[in-house]
Amino acid sequence: MDTSKFPTQESHATPYLLFDHAKMERNILKMADVARENGVALRPHVKTHKIPSIAREQVEAGAAGITVAKVSEAEVMADGGMEDIFIAYPLVTEAKIRRAVQLGERVARLVVGVDSLEGARRLSAVAGDSTLEVRLEVDTGLRRTGVLYDGAVGLAEEIEGMRNLDLTGIYTYRGAVLGGSKTLELEEAGLEEGRLMVSLADQMRERSIGVDEVSVGSTPTAEYVAKVDGVTEIRPGTYVFYDRMQARLGACSLDECAAVVVCTVVSRPARDLVIIDGGSKTFATDVGPGAEPLNLEGYGHVVGYPGAVLERLTEEHGMLSVDEDCDLEVGDTLQIIPNHICSTVNLHDEVYIVGEDGAVEETWVAARGKVR
């Protein structure tokens, strides 16, 4: 990132998140091309940025709609002009289902996830006179939400018969962890994910269950899973910025990462120790140092200082171990690519976006904190 374009200390106090708009745009177009070339729909997960204006850029570049994890995220995105929203999460309480039904009345299309018989019954009971479009979530090995693979056909049959529900597809989130951390393994993981889901859709269709859509994929596997015949949609999220984890997985280069945290050196108490003004309230810690299979060193990549490791974080302090001859001094500014951008964005109320002309725009992270 060209540091001459940075918001200055005068106008922008650190720590802050900075997005490089040109890089972001390239990432958005690249994934749109992956979808177009493979004849699948792109429905990016906007939990990564939580910003309606970025969702609009994704749709303008060709996305068919968006994916969210929460009703509250969906509401913010609808307020921001999104008209085709998939809540890829099982809604199981009356209040949330009611909010989803109401939201469905003011957007062109709303789809809701379901993964259990009890969940489906609740959707059906609350939907009332409305018809809720639903997709069945299937577990393909992550052991998160999703009906177990072997029970998917049976559950789909039961949902198919429920009033107020219109089952139109199946979906899964598998990520890259199952496939290991090398590029070749990402390809294998993506192809396997696609085949598992297409095979399941075929079994359902043999039983006359109307499954139009097979929705799969994440940032590291999207380009591979999109090639599988029968896949109709991919749902990557992180690709809009990429991050250090994705670079380690082989999904991007560090140079493609469009988001950095800008911090200031506040202390250098010893030659081998530099303290910055960003800690665990600035950098997410859900992808920490040493965690398998990524085994990352530190909490982020320190741009321009290959010897510096962001070794420890407390709430508002970041501790970098540095070589003794490292020239960092009190007041210096550093850019750090976070390990995991999605959960890092979630810590910030506002972010800065720098354009190709160097102009910097402050943007509110409208869906931050929308966990309900």
Footprint on this chain of a second copy (rule: CB under 8 A): 9-11, 13-16, 47, 69-72, 89-96, 115-116, 118-119, 122, 139, 143-148, 264-270, 273, 275, 277-278, 280-282, 284-286, 288, 313-317, 319, 329-331, 342-343, 346-349, 368-369, 371-372
In sequence order, what are the residues at sequence separation of 6 or more whose Cβ sits closer than 8 angstroms to the Cβ of residue 307? 322, 323, 326
What minimum distance in Å lies between the beta carbon of 142 and a second copy? 8
CB 231 within 8 A of CB 197: yes
Strand partners, 109: 84
Half-sphere exposure of residue 13: CA atoms within 13 angstroms, side-chain side: 2
Query: At closest approach, how far in Å is the CB of 163 from a second copy?
Result: 20
The Cα–Cα gap between 218 and 6 comes to 31
Please say which residue, 173 or 305, places its beta carbon nearer to a second copy: 173
Q: What's the rounded Cα separation, in Å, for the pair 188 and 195?
A: 11
CA–CA distance, 177 with 132 (Å, rounded to integer): 33
On whether the CB atoms of residues 137 and 146 are closer than 8 A, the answer is yes
Comparison of 38 and 235: residue with beta carbon closer to a second copy: 235
CA distance 337 to 258: 9
**Closer residue to a second copy (CB): 229 or 315:** 315
d(CA 71, CA 14): 32
Q: How far is the CB of 52 from a second copy (least distance, A)?
A: 17
Strands 233-234 and 41-42: parallel
Of residues 205 and 372, the one with the C-beta less far from a second copy:
372
Q: Write the DSSP symbol of residue 101.
A: H
d(CA 185, CA 176): 9
* 3-class DSSP assignment, residue 217: coil
142-154 core/surface letters (b: 16 or more CB in 10 A; e: else): eeebbbebeebbe
Contacts of 348 (CB under 8 A, 6+ apart): 16, 17, 282, 365, 368
Q: Which is nearer to a second copy, 168 or 285 (CB)?
A: 285
Q: Of 71 and 110, which CB lies nearer to a second copy in the complex structure?
A: 71
61 vs 146, beta carbon nearer a second copy: 146
Minimal distance, residue 309 CB to a second copy, in Å: 14
Pairing of strands 165-171, 132-139: parallel
Residue 330 CB, nearest approach to a second copy (Å): 4
Of 91 and 228, CB closest to a second copy? 91
Ordered DSSP codes for 67-95: EESSHHHHHHHHHTT--EEEEEEE--SHH
